[in-house]
Amino acid sequence: MTTISIKSRSDKQARKEYAEFEEKVKRTVFFSDLSPVVTSAVVSKALDQFGDVVNVEFISNNTLPYPVPQCALVEMKNPKQATAVITDLANYPFMMSGMPRPVRAMAAKAEMFADRPSSPDSEIQVRWVDPSDPDFEVGKKLKQLYKKHTVQTMLLTKVNTLS
């Protein structure tokens, strides 16, 4: 079994970039249960009451062959505004675009960002898994589960778009 370790750079610039990214995460709210018709403009207008929206980034659903924005990362001007959004949406139903489903909000996590920089202290290990390794069976089952989930998601999406 071969293991490869990849150490990210640990210079001053990398630490600065990562610190800036961590501040961005603190200002960002993760939204789920968004309607497929919601746009960046709708999200910004709906959240104006809480403060200034800096950026809206929809998270694509990779299990579908077409983009359906069901989740989004919304960066507010400061962490206090982001906390206000999360607190109010936890206590009251909040609907966007007149859709009869309440939107859910929670604090964003670093793992949610596609463009996140690697931590200067992180180390990535990559290895081939031998078929006799117990992890091989786990990986194989996860792969099968992913395929099954993809088929189920496609079917549910098809049923929901027809009704």
> 14 and 122 in contact (C-beta within 8 Å)?
no
Rounded mean pLDDT of 146-156? Answer: 86
Q: Computed over its alpha carbons, how large is the radius of gyration of the chain?
A: 20
Asked whether the predicted pLDDT for residue 122 surpasses 90, the reply is no
Q: Please provide the average confidence, as pLDDT, over all residues in the chain.
A: 84
Stated pTM of the model: 0.69
Q: Which of 104, 52, 42, 41 is nearest to 75 (CA)?
A: 52
Asked whether the predicted pLDDT for residue 57 surpasses 60, the reply is yes
Share of the chain above pLDDT 90, in %: 39
How confident is the model at residue 18, as a pLDDT?
92
Asked whether the predicted pLDDT for residue 38 surpasses 70, the reply is yes
3-class DSSP assignment, residue 120: coil
Rounded mean pLDDT of 36-64? Answer: 88
Write 54-60 long-range contacts (CB < 8 A, 24+).
54/27, 58/34, 59/112, 59/114
How confident is the model at residue 24, as a pLDDT?
97
Domain 3-128, what fold?
Alpha-Beta Plaits (3.30.70)
Beta bridge pairs of residue 31: 72, 105
What pLDDT digit, counting tens, does each position of 10-34 carry?
578 888 999 999 999 999 999 988 8
pLDDT band at 155 (very low <50, low <70, confident <90, very high): confident
Q: Which residue has the higher pLDDT, 144 or 161?
A: 144
Rounded mean pLDDT of 104-132? Answer: 86
Where in the chain are the domains?
A: 3-128, 129-163
The alpha carbon of residue 158 and the mean position of all alpha carbons in its chain are separated, in whole angstroms, by: 23
Rounded mean pLDDT of 143-153? Answer: 89
